[in-house]
């Protein structure tokens, strides 16, 4: 793999603003995803991958042709083009730190922001490596452009090395993963593979084999608005009702701030509106899918209690399904994880099987019937201005793809 070329790719991709936008019906939700997708198609075609295309939903699909004449299963690799709406992805100015010497990393665009070692202890294991950050005024976009760059570099390597043995390799780049819509318009049949691997994991050497199950609740608080001068006995302030509703949700348990590991949570993350109407969006998360029903029931109980204390207020709770824990689906195709472990061992790396307190496109692809574990790509501290990436971990991800294709084509595997 070409480390310098990989870095150039990554820097090229992160400078394109692909921030996903919530509340937008269009897929993808931002024009930058179309732009990046077109760039990838052009690069893939330049490599000699003739079927590279961007479909009507801006999803990029391509196939690296098999190099062996025996029957070998097709495998797929997937990453997403969008970045999180939680922090701006416009005008990213990457900072490259060659031969990192240790210690906190200042961000030149915002002197009040540092990437602190105490919050990122994995930096201690990366002395001498190349670290990439933003300038502190935006996110970096390593989630998931590190995955995009790793897949693209691996594809380029495959096309340069037609003697490397492998079966058909499907490439897929989705949109709007960060707002839970990454595979709304992607079905397993479009990939025609026995397994898929998302390149969307943090750090290096990890295989995510389990994710949260997830639902989303929208709480609509209806009030009565009237001029404050004549409001006595007539106004029902939805803002005040909503604040009482939120205050009744558990804070010492069932919140992201108070949970870890396999503990689930309720996470109010959006609130908007005024006196007459307030909308609250709440994430429901747990590794045990049945717990989501209990969380939803808790929201309904809190809504009922709050409504009873404010005459004239109306509170509605609507819950929609998002994705499910990938663990059950992965059990149906044990080679998906076993071969990823073998490939990483061939790379000389220690393998760690991990869980994700979140979800990936792989969660929904697995639920749809295509086993899709998630591989590490060298991204760290995603969704924030303190996001950073390690170039050598990205390079390992690209080499991991190469070796995975080798293992899947090996009759003795």
**In a shared domain, residues 298 and 151:** no
**In a shared domain, residues 369 and 403:** yes
**What CATH code is carried by the domain that includes residue 279?**
3.30.70.360
Is 135 assigned a catalytic role? Answer: no
The total of structural domains in the chain comes to: 2
Domain that includes residue 76, residue range? 3-211+325-409
Is 291 assigned a catalytic role? Answer: no
Rounded Cα gap, residues 47 and 65, in angstroms: 12
CA torsion through residues 177, 95, 203, 335, sign: positive
Q: Which helix (H) or strand (E) holds 105?
A: strand 105-106
**In a shared domain, residues 335 and 310:** no
- Long-range contacts from 31-34, C-beta under 8 angstroms, 24+ separation: 32/89, 33/58, 33/81, 33/82, 33/175, 33/176, 34/58
Q: How far is CA 290 from CA 215, 284, 294, 325, in A?
A: 11, 11, 7, 11
Among 143, 153, 176, 177, the active-site one is 177
Q: What is the DSSP letter of 65?
A: P
Among 82, 143, 367, 402, the active-site one is 82
**In a shared domain, residues 308 and 378:** no
**In a shared domain, residues 293 and 161:** no
DSSP-derived 3-state class of residue 384: coil
Whether the CB-CB separation of 81 and 148 falls below 8 Å is answered with yes
**In a shared domain, residues 138 and 47:** yes
pLDDT in tens, the chain (413 residues): 899 999 999 999 999 999 999 889 999 999 999 999 999 999 999 999 999 999 999 999 999 999 999 999 999 999 999 999 999 999 999 999 999 999 999 999 998 999 999 999 999 999 999 999 999 999 999 999 999 999 999 999 999 999 999 999 999 999 999 998 999 999 999 999 999 999 999 999 999 999 999 999 999 999 999 999 999 999 999 999 999 999 999 988 899 999 999 999 999 999 999 999 999 999 999 999 999 999 999 999 999 999 999 999 999 999 999 889 999 899 999 999 999 999 999 999 888 999 989 888 999 999 999 999 999 999 999 999 999 999 999 999 999 999 999 999 998 76
């Amino acid at each position: 793999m070409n480390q310098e070329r990989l870095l150039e790719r990554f820097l090229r991709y992160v400078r394109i603003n692909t921030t996903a936008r919530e509340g937008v019906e269009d897929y993808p939700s931002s024009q930058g995803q179309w732009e990046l997708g077109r760039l990838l198609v052009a690069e893939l075609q330049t490599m000699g991958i003739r079927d590279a295309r961007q479909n009507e939903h801006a999803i990029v699909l391509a196939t690296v042709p098999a190099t062996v004449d025996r029957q070998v299963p097709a495998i797929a690799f997937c990453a997403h083009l969008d970045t999180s709406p939680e922090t701006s992805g416009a005008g990213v100015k990457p900072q490259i730190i060659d031969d990192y010497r240790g210690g906190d990393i200042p961000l030149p665009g915002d002197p009040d922001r540092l990437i602190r070692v105490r919050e990122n202890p994995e930096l201690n294991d990366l002395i001498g490596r190349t670290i990439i950050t933003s300038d502190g005024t935006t996110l970096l976009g390593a989630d998931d452009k590190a995955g995009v760059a790793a897949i693209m570099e691996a594809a380029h390597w495959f096309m340069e090395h037609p003697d490397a043995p492998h079966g058909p390799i499907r490439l897929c780049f989705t949109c709007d993963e960060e707002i839970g819509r990454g595979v709304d318009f992607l079905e397993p049949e479009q990939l025609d593979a026995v397994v898929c691997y998302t390149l969307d994991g943090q750090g290096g050497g990890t295989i995510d084999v389990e994710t949260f199950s997830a639902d989303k609740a929208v709480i609509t608080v209806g009030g009565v608005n009237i001029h404050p001068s004549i409001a006595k006995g007539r106004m029902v302030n939805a803002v005040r009702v909503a604040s009482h509703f939120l205050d009744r949700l558990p804070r010492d348990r069932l919140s992201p701030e108070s949970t870890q590991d396999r503990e689930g949570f309720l996470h109010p993350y959006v609130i908007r509106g005024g006196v007459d109407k307030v909308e609250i969006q709440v994430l429901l998360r747990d590794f045990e899918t049945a717990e989501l029903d209990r969380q939803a029931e808790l929201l309904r109980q809190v809504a009922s209690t709050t409504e009873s204390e404010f005459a004239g207020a109306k509170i509605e709770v609507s819950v929609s399904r998002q994705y499910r824990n990938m663990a059950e689906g992965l059990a149906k195709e044990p080679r998906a994880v076993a071969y990823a472990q073998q490939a990483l061992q061939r790379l000389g790396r220690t393998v760690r099987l991990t869980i994700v307190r979140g979800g990936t496109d792989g969660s929904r692809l697995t639920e749809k019937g295509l086993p899709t574990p998630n591989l590490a790509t060298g991204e760290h501290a995603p969704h924030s201005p303190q996001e950073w990436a390690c170039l050598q971990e990205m390079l390992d991800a690209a080499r991991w793809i190469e070796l995975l294709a080798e293992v899947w084509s090996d009759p003795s595997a």
